[in-house]
Structure 1
Amino acid sequence: MADVESNYEDEEFEEQEISPQVLAEAKEKIAARCAASGITFEEVVDEIADSSSYKFGFKCGRNVKHILVWGAKGLLEFLDVPFEDYCFLSDLDAICSYKDGVIEAGIRPVSFNGQGVSIPFVYRQLFGVFHSKDFDSEENKLIVSAEGDNPITFEISPGTHCYKTIAQNPGRQGLTLKLSGVNIKQHDKAVELLTRSADSLLFQLDLLTNVPFILRKQRRRSGGRLIRRVRGAEKVELKFPDSEFDSAPLSLYWYGRSADEMPLLQFLAYYQVVEFYFPIYSQSEAQRKLKAILKNPTFRGDRDSDVARLLTAIQVSRNGTFGDERSQLKATMIECVDADSIREFIESDSVIKEFYLSGSKSLPFHKIPLANESLDLRGDIAERIYDIRCRIVHTKSDSRDVSGELLLPFSKEAELLGSDIKLMQYIARQVLIAGSRAYHV
């Protein structure tokens, strides 16, 4: 919706001032403009609340992005903007007009140490504005243009009325990056140009102002950030602790809990909690393997092949642990995580369950066969976790490791790690509990 400075009563009064005839004419005009440009448009009536909302379906790459506009006043805002000339750019909170050669994308400051960045601080650093009364000044913009024959221009400033209306972003001081003079007619090329230009400009902006900005992403429902479960009204009951934990992995656990806006860092923090216990549980696994080999009646200590079997079983890594990292992860999970409990954890959360049944198919990691109810999932979960870990740190510990490109921050794949992070967090908790010892004063 457009920017409106009024309280609830004013909005309600203005809504009543819109006559049925004016609203009907507006719906007819907007429907005709939508039909001519391939945008879907429908009215959604809430009979209980006796109100209507309006649903637009804009082109967004190969998909459709739906925008929901509330009330007659919000709908009338669309009459004042050339919305039919615009489409959305996939994965980004950005609109593009090939006709006018314009791209406008929302940008947001990255939080410092988990704390948000205030609008006054941003405006002071970017535009030299110290007083809130000056926030709406038309002078609050940064503009640079290419030299020579290339007419492209970049501008960082508050979002335009057109952007706020179409993208349904009513924030008055929300900033956008605008590209004008763009001679592109294809969606993928528009995304590539916007991303490449934003990377250059926003990195420069960080160097000049110490305010890191990134392109604002479209919100995702599946596999992304998960809703926190809210407790009931009952009071929490604590008990005197009977266990204490190793300080190093617990510190990593708290680090993961604090990194909500950094999914790759969060995943690695939880992984490192589990990794801390690799030497303990990989040794237990190696002992079992050795016992099984030595108890075999056919084992001969003077036979080279049998000695080679022993060496393979205890394969010591450079850090003194037994086996490669993949097998150490599996050994730790087998020792610390109950097979039934981890399946119950996945299936008790509808978002996570649906993600592993169908939503995770687009990600290039080992699939968890959740549909097989009789299968112990721990081995497959360990394979998936290790795949993700390798893609984040981009290492190849052995020839069986997953091949693929580096998993980058702010990428589509990184945003879809929500369920994997929750699962990794659960495993980290179980390993911490298994590795705890009796509490002492």
Structure 2
Amino acid sequence: MSDLDGLISPEEAKNILDSADPRIAAEEECRKQKVEHNWQLQNTEPYLRVGLPNGRDKKWRVLNKERSDAFLRHNFASVTHLGDLDACLFRDTGVIEASILPRTSGTSWRYERAIIELPGIRRVSGEQSTPDEEQDADPAPDVEPNEIKPEDDWVLGFERPEGTPFGVEIGTASERFSEFSTRGNMRRGRVPGTSRPDKFTTLRISGVTATRHDEALRILKRVSDSLFFELDLRFDTALKVAPARPARYVRRRRSLEDPGEGGGSVTRSPRTQYAEKPLSLYWYARSAVGLPLLEFLAYYQVLEYHFRSYSRRGTLDKIRHELRDPRFDVEDDSDLERILTLTSQSGEGFGSEREQLKATVRGCVAESHVRDFIKNDPWLTEHFDGDPLKGVTGIDANNKKTGYDLLSQLADRVYDIRCRIVHAKEDGKAPGEKTSLLLPFSKEVESLGPDIALVKFLAQKCLIAGASRLRP
């Protein structure tokens, strides 16, 4: 069901609900505060959809009875979401709060340990206050890290030098932010005795007078970039503000009920072995989920590993045809020159890198497979039809471009993206490039999910094409 399926009128919703239901009170508050909203019916149950501001966009939340009650307690009409980040501006209190994560990959307990080992951390009781308010601390404020338990609230405040406009702290997410945070609402557990999600860590900035989305977002980025860089310099702890990706950009795991190409049992013993070196590159790419630029390049390296094999294949066929020609004369210099011309290119591969990629793509995947892969997935179809990436080759799965086959389009697009990732010139452009470098954490990089899925598909096809029967 899409977000807009099953819309019903307010009168229909109120006829189903009890008059004391908090969803009705939440709708009245939406109307009073001019917050966009509507009603949706799912399995005979009315839900209130509330569109909280996020710049020029809206972030829609579907409220049941319990969530409506929480939204009312936390003054949802004063909440502004901040861009593609899991962050909110609370306009009524002048506080920005944002979920934070480690920049480096690793286990969650190592990340949490790195945070709570920072000097100055203290345990607090109850709801987190803003950085400028006093905390109800334990008698021994500087507790040892191993004394802080997962269920504890804690805070790490930073000294506010004279003239500094903002108060800053890191700590357990506030109950209010937990209700509006994407990360908070994705966590399944709840703190015992409350409606609050499991604990997670946030950055809080107080003293914010900005009320406009863009200005608040700039404050968050300036403060977080400066704070996190200094923490990394002093304590080797690399942090970042967590993204709040739209659902259409979240990589989706194939359902076990729909095993896809090949079908059949998912428990069959392997009967095929795959080349060890490119497979290790593939596993490296699989471990880089959450780092889209690295993930894309790692899958590209799987393709690159096969360049020499596939690019030489066509040349070897041409040489073979020349030698088989009954008219070929080993004593004729012109005949030998034709062979020399065919073999005079790089021993690492034949043709430019772009041409080697095209040869590899053509050698390992059929055009019909690519077309089905794209057209059978609305996520991919929507992405390539809209195409948020500028300056890269577009994909026309219907092949309307005369003389420009789908596999060539695909190879050119993959190579264009690869160039935008690796050509890190000071001016942001590589020689001959029309567009700039793909920068980490940009909206373009956040939209790379379908392109990563596509290059992953090609990497899988390359591994399959080079596979052999499993040997004992």
TMscore range, shorter length = 0.7 to 0.9
Which residue pairs with 1:4 in the alignment?
A: none
Paired residue type of 1:222: R
Which residue pairs with 2:12 in the alignment?
A: none
Q: Could you tell which deviates more after superposition, 26-35 or 155-164?
A: 26-35
Paired residue type of 2:49: K
Which residue pairs with 1:419 in the alignment?
A: 450
Deviation at residue 292 of structure 1 after TM alignment: 9.5
Pairing partner for 2:179 from 165, 174, 177: 165
Question: C-alpha distance in 2, partners of 1:302/1:335?
Answer: 33
Question: C-alpha distance in 1, partners of 2:316/2:57?
Answer: 54
Deviation at residue 185 of structure 1 after TM alignment: 4.5
Paired residue type of 1:203: F
Pairing partner for 2:284 from 252, 255, 259: 255
Which residue pairs with 2:216 in the alignment?
A: 190
Q: For the structure 1 residues 22 and 348, does the alpha-carbon distance in structure 2 shift closer, same or farther, using more than 3 Å as the test?
A: closer
Deviation at residue 352 of structure 1 after TM alignment: 2.0
Question: C-alpha distance in 1, partners of 2:87/2:77?
Answer: 15
Question: C-alpha distance in 2, partners of 1:89/1:163?
Answer: 13
Q: Where do residues 55-70 of structure 1 align in structure 2 (5 Å cutoff)?
A: 55-70=49-64
Question: C-alpha distance in 1, partners of 2:42/2:99?
Answer: 31
Question: C-alpha distance in 1, partners of 2:95/2:411?
Answer: 46
Paired residue type of 1:42: N
Deviation at residue 334 of structure 1 after TM alignment: 1.5
Q: Could you tell which deviates more after superposition, 340-349 or 376-385?
A: 340-349
Deviation at residue 136 of structure 1 after TM alignment: 3.3
Question: C-alpha distance in 2, partners of 1:239/1:161?
Answer: 48
Deviation at residue 151 of structure 1 after TM alignment: 2.2
Q: For the structure 1 residues 426 and 400, does the alpha-carbon distance in structure 2 shift closer, same or farther, using more than 3 Å as the test?
A: farther
Tell me, yes or no, if the aligned pair for 2:26 and 2:72 is still in contact at 8 Å: no
Q: What are the superposed Cα offsets for residues 325-379 of structure 1, whole Å, 9 maximum, x if unpaired?
A: 1111011112222222222222233322332233x24454211111337973100
Deviation at residue 385 of structure 1 after TM alignment: 0.4
Which residue pairs with 2:162 in the alignment?
A: 148
TM-score by length of 1: 0.77
Pairing partner for 2:394 from 367, 375, 391: 367
TM-score by length of 2: 0.73
Tell me, yes or no, if the aligned pair for 2:85 and 2:243 is still in contact at 8 Å: yes
- The residue matched to 1:108 in structure 2 has which SS? strand
Query: How many residue pairs were aligned?
Result: 403
Tell me, yes or no, if the aligned pair for 1:315 and 1:323 is still in contact at 8 Å: no
Q: For the structure 1 residues 336 and 165, does the alpha-carbon distance in structure 2 shift closer, same or farther, using more than 3 Å as the test?
A: closer
Q: Does 1:218 align with 2:280?
A: no
**Which segments of 5 or more consecutive residues in structure 2 lack a partner in the other structure?**
1-16, 122-143, 185-195
Q: For the structure 1 residues 240 and 270, does the alpha-carbon distance in structure 2 shift closer, same or farther, using more than 3 Å as the test?
A: closer
Q: Where do residues 11-410 of structure 1 align in structure 2 (5 Å cutoff)?
A: 20-21=19-20, 23=22, 26-27=25-26, 29-35=28-34, 39-46=35-42, 48=44, 51-71=45-65, 73-97=66-90, 100-110=93-103, 112-113=105-106, 115-117=107-109, 121=113, 124-126=116-118, 127=121, 128-131=144-147, 135-137=151-153, 140-167=154-181, 169=184, 170-231=196-257, 235-236=265-266, 238=268, 241=271, 243-287=272-316, 316-317=345-346, 320-358=348-386, 360-372=387-399, 376-394=405-423, 402-410=433-441
Deviation at residue 389 of structure 1 after TM alignment: 0.9
Calculate the aligned-residue CA RMSD, in Å: 3.8
Which residue pairs with 1:429 in the alignment?
A: 460
Question: C-alpha distance in 2, partners of 1:101/1:421?
Answer: 39
Question: C-alpha distance in 2, partners of 1:259/1:102?
Answer: 33
Q: For the structure 1 residues 364 and 67, does the alpha-carbon distance in structure 2 shift closer, same or farther, using more than 3 Å as the test?
A: farther
Question: C-alpha distance in 2, partners of 1:90/1:150?
Answer: 25
The share of aligned pairs that are identical, in percent, is 32
Tell me, yes or no, if the aligned pair for 2:23 and 2:63 is still in contact at 8 Å: no
**Which segments of 5 or more consecutive residues in structure 1 lack a partner in the other structure?**
1-17
Q: For the structure 1 residues 413 and 183, does the alpha-carbon distance in structure 2 shift closer, same or farther, using more than 3 Å as the test?
A: same
